Amino acid sequence: MVNKIYSQKKLSLKPYNTFNIDVQVNDFIKIQTEEELINALQQFPNPFILGGGSNMLLTQNIEKPVFHIQIKGISIEKETEDFVWIKAQAGENWHKFVLYTLNQGFGGLENLSLIPGNVGTTPIQNIGAYGIEIKDVMENCEAIHVKTFKKKTFSNADCKFAYRESIFKNEEKGNYIITSVTFKLTKRNHILHTEYGAIKDVLSQREIKNPTPKDISEAVIFIRESKLPDPKKIGNSGSFFKNPIVIKMKFEKLQEKYPKMPFYELNQEDVKIPAGWLIDTCKLKGYRKGDAGVHEKQALVLVNYGNATGSEILEIAHFVKNEVKEKFDIELEFEVNIF
């Protein structure tokens, strides 16, 4: 027997998305267990899935029923002397989960500290920061099919991870709802990633020569807090644009004109250029139109100063994209999902 799932009617999603966009939904359903999820799918097919609300820009009211995934729980699946496999349910707050693993002495997630959102959405976007992506630490994830209600385990390889991409954004888009993610973390002999200059600088300032995973996390938190706005104070969704990847020949031509252009060589053919630098060089940092704008400290971030609509922020995003295209002949891609 299916237990009846009740929905809240005519609700604003403003408290549930980090851009603080005020859009309305007809049905809002809290999901706290996998059983509730399956029951809800049977009663409310074709839902709109909401986690931490951190990687989205809402431009219109949501006609579909909204499932707010709040499944909680953290458990150790297995461990050896060197490694631990730890499972987190989809509704766990990502940063709190990262801090939990660090407090247990586990390494692997420290570079991903202070990224907003929940655990369940991290594989979809293959979130990354400071040289680490989810694909480097994820063992597998479990998901329920929206039509058959069957649970499937996706291995790391199954997810087809790429830069800010996964199978869940492409061929399986909308077909599965992730319910848990398992990570393989280190218990000792931690592999620390301090190659980014900003991390090195903070560690140097703090006179830390042999950093622990916690030291790295604290450095990342310090860096992020110093240049990224707190969504609780000013609406935003973190980095709005992907860092573009261009072929080496094109980069070398640009470098002749802009010798101070920062870059990261990905391989012999491809170079990644920081989108923030491109936007900043177009003199768009701090650009504002009404309550929508480009953040004054970090050009990658678009912000809602108060009562901007999603459409007004999207208009700013396209303006930025056009300016970068005109100046550098580089096509920026949105990292944030537009609805």
Do 142 and 180 form a contact (C-beta atoms < 8 A)? yes
Residues 6+ apart with CB under 8 A from 146: 41, 45, 46, 47, 174, 175, 176, 177
The token duo for 230 is 């707190």
User: Where is mean pLDDT largest: 2-11, 141-150, 220-229?
Assistant: 141-150
Query: Residues 197-206: pLDDT tens digits?
Result: 799 999 999 9
Which band of pLDDT confidence, cut at 50, 70 and 90, is reported for residue 2?
low
- Sequence spans of domains, the chain: 8-69, 74-227, 235-338
Locate tokens 């991903």: which residue?
Answer: 112
Cut 0.75: pTM above it? yes
Q: Which of 60-64, 212-216, 263-267 has the lowest mean pLDDT?
A: 263-267
Active-site residue flag, 239? yes
Q: Does position 1 have pLDDT exceeding 60, yes or no?
A: no
Do 87 and 181 form a contact (C-beta atoms < 8 A)? yes
Mean pLDDT of 266-294: 96
d(CA 177, CA 88): 15
User: Which tops the pLDDT comparison, 5 or 118?
Assistant: 118
Give the model's pLDDT for residue 241: 97
Q: How many CA atoms lie within 13 A of 134 on its CB side?
A: 27
Mean pLDDT of 158-169: 95
Active-site residue flag, 142? no
Query: Is there a shared CATH topology between the 74-227 domain and the 235-338 domain?
Result: no
Query: Residues 118-158: pLDDT tens digits?
Result: 999 999 999 999 999 999 999 999 999 999 999 999 999 99
Query: Residues 316-334: pLDDT tens digits?
Result: 999 999 999 999 999 999 9
Rounded mean pLDDT of the chain?
A: 95
Q: Does position 272 have pLDDT exceeding 90, yes or no?
A: yes
Which of 166, 180, 217, 239 is an active site residue? Answer: 239
Architecture of domain 8-69: 2-Layer Sandwich (3.30)
Of all helices (H) and strands (E), which one includes residue 296?
Answer: none
Query: Residues 67-108: pLDDT tens digits?
Result: 999 999 999 999 999 999 999 999 999 999 999 999 999 999
Would you state the torsion angle of the CA atoms of residues 316, 319, 320, 324, taken in this order, to the nearest 10 degrees? 180
Pick the CATH number of 235-338 from 3.10.450.50, 3.90.78.10, 3.40.190.80, 3.30.830.10: 3.90.78.10
Which of 164, 166, 172, 237 is an active site residue? Answer: 164
Active-site residue flag, 335? yes
Give the model's pLDDT for residue 5: 79
Which band of pLDDT confidence, cut at 50, 70 and 90, is reported for residue 236?
very high
Taking every pair of C-alpha atoms in the chain, what is the biggest distance, in angstroms? Answer: 69
Share of the chain above pLDDT 70, in %: 99
CATH topology of domain 74-227: 3.30.465
Which of 34, 142, 312, 335 is an active site residue? Answer: 335
Bridge partners of 277, per DSSP, are: none
Give the model's pLDDT for residue 109: 98
For 215, other C-beta atoms within 10 Å of its C-beta total 19
Give the model's pLDDT for residue 172: 97
